[in-house]
Chain A
């Protein structure tokens, strides 16, 4: 009886405290924290952690390329007014420090990839260590789900420092989201588990899947002989055909050949199937198959494994 009374008392105290705090909470929802994320995938992660307390603006929107981004004056103003700025780091946004300087931004700048085990791009791996580490690092760290959990940790830390009142809420959101990510990671591993390791080979013109390859044991090869800039030559097509045959590739994700008839011809020649779209550096729009980070990772995994299994 005594304990129950005490419990009751505690509950009502908490209730009172919440009631006393609620005007402050209300004020927060009216004027949320202004956050700016450098690109759409990071923007989604910040949104998941921030929830209603944070208004996220994304500089490089869905479907755009962060490598060749040119900030506009209105985006510089956006950054100047922000309370917290998130970037990927690892040399992904070469324009970020300049933009922060131009915008006169003095606030908190969170590098979301801090603390991950960076890997180096393949060409860099063959070269002896030259000390140009920032140029050789592969920035696409979010392509592995465990790394995304590190991102989430950094985002929570940054948001808590910028908005101490919301810290508990951020932590709660992060725990829930990390559970989703954990399930996603398990699913991806389970999907690949049914495919023998020797068959896990993909030719793709994207160079963004180093972390994915590392985390899930898939080999990504760059297509030889063809590029977007020029008309295909017989030699280029022949090189690609030879590569597909030698590596016994079943799936082609070759966006650098823009003529679908040529991809079809290569498919006939080699038995490899031209497969769908992969999302590497940005989400799709809200109607697309990769509207969020989780959806993107699922869409990529489905596209890759189905192509290999010949569906």
Chain B
């Protein structure tokens, strides 16, 4: 790092309050990179969650991941692989289980999901309590955006790329499912593919978010950008773009605020998103202060 003092460009970069932290510290660059990867995939997933009125499903799924990650941690410590596999397995079990119950019994999706995720959560709490080192586990569950290593970044990048490709492939059936699930089920075999494929994407993005921000905060970067973007635009394309842009902006500002104000990083990123949401709620064209008719929930795709 001696060349910082030598090169005037580097000196200017390091002195700059916005770029300096990223120029000087590798862990800040890693954190930013991880957040960018997460934003690119989690925000679009969040838009579809919102359009399918499943935003709270995201929250429930985040809790459903917890026991899997906890088991992975207890079996092999802070292993990225073990916690990823555990989290995805637990998430998919709950997603598929509740989906099957919803599609084949009298229970609706919300109830069956609540049942499954509560079972999963109770199991997680039981495992944690029996093993007794809950302090460690709490640290694990709060995520460490400042401690992303190459393996974690590769995982986040891989999940991001997978999600974007899958969303491109599932785009039409997903949009149809958002608009009229019953119609899609009648005219196409793609309905279950779209549904379970989307739940799969939700689970892997929550696991990615869990590594970066922790289970409790991971849903924030999905739901809040979509909700905020909805105040400004109505069409799906702009909605996806704006949500992603807002997520990226919040990650950047969250990291910088955490750097300058000395606040913990994950909550600051989510609170940045929250601030954008509240400002949009007040001032956006379709926000609360505009005396318009509530916007139609139907989408013109």
Given A245-B1, A262-B144, A262-B147, are A235 and B262 also a contact pair (CB < 8 Å)? yes
Q: How far apart are A272's CB and chain B's nearest CB, in angstroms?
A: 13
How many residues of A are in contact with the other chain, CB < 8 A?
A: 22
* 0/1 interface trace, chain B 1-42, chain A, CB 8 Å (1 if under): 100000000000000000001001111101100000000000
B140 to chain A: closest residue by CB: A259
Q: How far apart are B269's CB and chain A's nearest CB, in angstroms?
A: 11
> What total of A-B pairs shows CB separation below 8 Å?
74
Given A234-B258, A268-B26, are A261 and B263 also a contact pair (CB < 8 Å)? no
Residues of B within 8 A of A231 (CB): 142, 264-267
Q: Does B106 contact A (CB under 8 A)?
A: no
Q: Does B89 contact A (CB under 8 A)?
A: no
Q: Which of B28, B135, B147, B148 counts the most A-chain CB atoms under 10 A from its CB? A: B147
Residues of B within 8 A of A63 (CB): none
Instruction: Give bound CA distance, A269 to B148, whole Å.
Output: 12
Q: Which of A230, A234, A269 counts the most B-chain CB atoms under 10 A from its CB? A: A234
Partner of A233, one of B136, B139, B148, B263: B263
Cβ A233 vs Cβ B149 within 8 A: no
For window 139-196 of B, CB contacts with A under 8 Å fall at 139-140, 142, 144, 146-149
Q: How far apart are A262's CB and chain B's nearest CB, in angstroms?
A: 4
* 0/1 interface trace, chain A 175-213, chain B, CB 8 Å (1 if under): 000000000000000000000000000000000000000
Instruction: Give bound CA distance, A265 to B1, whole Å.
Output: 17
Instruction: Give bound CA distance, A230 to B266, whole Å.
Output: 13
Q: Does B290 contact A (CB under 8 A)?
A: no
Residues of A within 8 A of B267 (CB): 231
Instruction: Give bound CA distance, A225 to B265, whole Å.
Output: 14
Cβ A259 vs Cβ B139 within 8 A: yes
Q: Does B78 contact A (CB under 8 A)?
A: yes
Instruction: Give bound CA distance, A241 to B14, whole Å.
Output: 14
Cβ A234 vs Cβ B21 within 8 A: yes
Cβ A261 vs Cβ B258 within 8 A: no
Q: Does B283 contact A (CB under 8 A)?
A: no
Cβ A264 vs Cβ B1 within 8 A: no
Partner of B26, one of A225, A233, A269: A269
B256 to chain A: closest residue by CB: A234
Q: Does B203 contact A (CB under 8 A)?
A: no
Cβ B264 vs Cβ A266 within 8 A: no
Q: Does B53 contact A (CB under 8 A)?
A: no
Cβ B147 vs Cβ A259 within 8 A: yes
* 0/1 interface trace, chain B 260-278, chain A, CB 8 Å (1 if under): 1111111100000000000
Given A258-B135, A268-B26, are A237 and B1 also a contact pair (CB < 8 Å)? no
Cβ B265 vs Cβ A265 within 8 A: no
Cβ B21 vs Cβ A238 within 8 A: yes
Partner of A235, one of B26, B147, B149, B258: B258
Cβ B147 vs Cβ A264 within 8 A: yes
Residues of B within 8 A of A230 (CB): 264
Cβ A258 vs Cβ B136 within 8 A: yes
Residues of A within 8 A of B264 (CB): 230-233
Residues of B within 8 A of A261 (CB): 78, 144, 147, 149
Cβ A241 vs Cβ B146 within 8 A: no
Q: Does B43 contact A (CB under 8 A)?
A: no
Q: Does B88 contact A (CB under 8 A)?
A: no
Cβ B78 vs Cβ A269 within 8 A: no
Q: Does A236 contact B (CB under 8 A)?
A: yes
A230 to chain B: closest residue by CB: B264
Given A231-B264, A234-B258, A238-B259, are A264 and B139 also a contact pair (CB < 8 Å)? no
Residues of A within 8 A of B262 (CB): 225, 233, 235-236
Please name 16 pairs of A and B residues whose Cβ atoms are closer than 8 Å in the assembled complex, sorted by A.
Answer: A225-B262, A231-B266, A232-B265, A234-B258, A235-B260, A237-B27, A238-B21, A241-B27, A245-B1, A258-B136, A258-B139, A259-B144, A260-B78, A262-B144, A264-B147, A269-B25
Give the A-binding residues of B (Cβ under 8 A): 1, 21, 24-28, 30-31, 78, 135-136, 139-140, 142, 144, 146-149, 255, 258-267
Please give me the 4 A-B residue pairs with the lowest Cβ-Cβ distance, nearest first: A231-B264, A234-B259, A261-B147, A235-B262
A232-B144, A232-B146 known; 10 new pairs, CB 8 Å cut-off, are A230-B264, A231-B264, A231-B265, A234-B259, A237-B25, A241-B25, A241-B27, A260-B78, A265-B147, A265-B148
